[in-house]
């Protein structure tokens, strides 16, 4: 069966709706149209070659590309693959996982970290920040071995969607804007078939690279 590609504009629409939703909860919110992000960048990784790992830095563990997938081949307690690029104040990440993977998306804000952990084996999602669990709930296990997982962030909150379940909004503790992200593995050797990272704007420091 051919690989299903998620259209890039869907992430842009999802991000726009999320930013508008977060703005709506503030007492002095501007109209929703004012919250729509400007055109930014989209980074698409299909893991067709090892060259796609040039945008990533393995801080711990062994991360390999083969057979059109990214896998962590080691089983340490915290195997970390860091995206080399800086995040914009709001953006989104979409992952397509295969099998009974357990993977965590770690969003960094200076020295603080917010984690979104997806456990496909137990069909459970967990969001934590500063060592405090903010959300833990089950999700509908997919009929196939492929599962889509989306994380959208802003200064106020994080939105998580697994498969076709309804998105869940988690309010962030007051902290600095996110400035980096990593993929974490803890013993499960996850397999990622696709990865999309969207930023709501082109950062001046990276304009030449993009």
3-state DSSP assignment of residue 10 = helix
Is the pLDDT at 24 greater than 70, yes or no?
A: no
Q: pLDDT per residue over 131-188, tens digit each?
A: 899 999 999 887 788 899 999 999 889 999 998 888 999 998 877 899 999 999 998 8
**Average pLDDT over the chain, rounded to an integer:** 80
| Nearest residue to 59 via CA among 74, 42, 37, 49 | 74
Q: Please give the Cα distance from 47 to 51 (Å, whole number).
A: 8
Give the pLDDT score at 18. 46
Asked whether residue 20 is assigned to any structural domain, the reply reads yes
Contacts of 7 (CB under 8 A, 6+ apart): none
Is the pLDDT at 30 greater than 70, yes or no?
A: no
Residue in the structure block whose two tokens are 């929703």: 32
Asked whether residue 208 is assigned to any structural domain, the reply reads no
- Using H for helix, E for strand and C for coil, what is the string for 27-47? CCCCCHHHHCCCCCEEEEECC
Give the mean pLDDT of 57-61: 95
Give the pLDDT score at 210. 46
Asked whether residue 67 is assigned to any structural domain, the reply reads yes
Give the mean pLDDT of 35-45: 67
Asked whether residue 168 is assigned to any structural domain, the reply reads yes
Is the pLDDT at 102 greater than 80, yes or no?
A: yes
Q: Among 13-17, 73-77, 141-145, where is mean pLDDT lowest?
A: 13-17
Segments of the chain assigned E as strands: 41-45, 56-60, 63-66, 69-72, 79-83, 91-98, 102-109, 112-119, 124-129, 132-138, 146-153, 157-162, 168-171, 180-185, 191-199
Give the mean pLDDT of 53-76: 92
Q: Quick count: other Cβ atoms within 10 Å of Cβ 77?
A: 10
Asked whether residue 210 is assigned to any structural domain, the reply reads no
Q: What 8-state DSSP symbol labels residue 80?
A: E
Give the pLDDT score at 175. 77
The pTM of this model reads 0.79
Per the CB < 8 A criterion, the answer to whether 169 and 16 are in contact is no
Q: Quick count: other Cβ atoms within 10 Å of Cβ 55?
A: 15
Per the CB < 8 A criterion, the answer to whether 104 and 122 are in contact is no
Asked whether residue 28 is assigned to any structural domain, the reply reads yes
Q: How far apart are the first and last CA of the chain?
A: 32
Q: Please give the Cα distance from 161 to 151 (Å, whole number).
A: 7
Asked whether residue 50 is assigned to any structural domain, the reply reads yes
- CATH assignment at residue 62: 2.60.120.200
Is the pLDDT at 57 greater than 70, yes or no?
A: yes
Percent of the chain with pLDDT over 70: 77
Give the pLDDT score at 55. 93
Asked whether residue 118 is assigned to any structural domain, the reply reads yes
Is the pLDDT at 31 greater than 80, yes or no?
A: no
Per the CB < 8 A criterion, the answer to whether 11 and 43 are in contact is no
Give the pLDDT score at 133. 94
| Nearest residue to 107 via CA among 165, 54, 170 | 170
Give the pLDDT score at 2. 40
Range of the domain at 140: 8-202
Q: Indicate the number of domains in the chain.
A: 1
């Amino acid at each position: 069966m051919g690989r299903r590609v998620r259209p890039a504009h869907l992430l842009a629409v999802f991000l726009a709706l999320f930013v508008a939703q977060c703005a709506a909860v503030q007492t002095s919110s501007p109209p929703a149209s004012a919250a729509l992000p400007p055109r930014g960048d989209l980074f698409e990784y299909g893991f067709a070659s090892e060259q796609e790992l040039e945008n990533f830095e393995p801080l711990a563990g062994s991360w390999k590309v083969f057979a059109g997938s990214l896998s962590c081949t080691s089983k340490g307690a915290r195997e970390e693959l860091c995206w080399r690029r800086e995040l914009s104040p709001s953006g989104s990440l979409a992952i397509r996982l295969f099998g009974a993977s357990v993977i965590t998306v770690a969003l960094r804000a200076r020295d603080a970290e917010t984690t979104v952990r997806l456990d496909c084996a137990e069909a459970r999602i967990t969001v934590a920040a500063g060592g405090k669990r903010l959300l833990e709930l089950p999700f509908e296990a997919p009929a196939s071995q492929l599962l889509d997982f989306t994380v959208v962030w802003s200064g106020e909150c994080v939105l998580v969607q697994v498969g076709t379940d309804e998105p869940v909004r988690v309010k962030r503790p007051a902290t600095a804007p996110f400035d980096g992200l990593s993929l974490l593995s803890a013993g499960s050797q996850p397999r990622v078939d696709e990865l999309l990272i969207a930023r709501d704007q082109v950062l001046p420091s990276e304009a030449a690279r993009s």
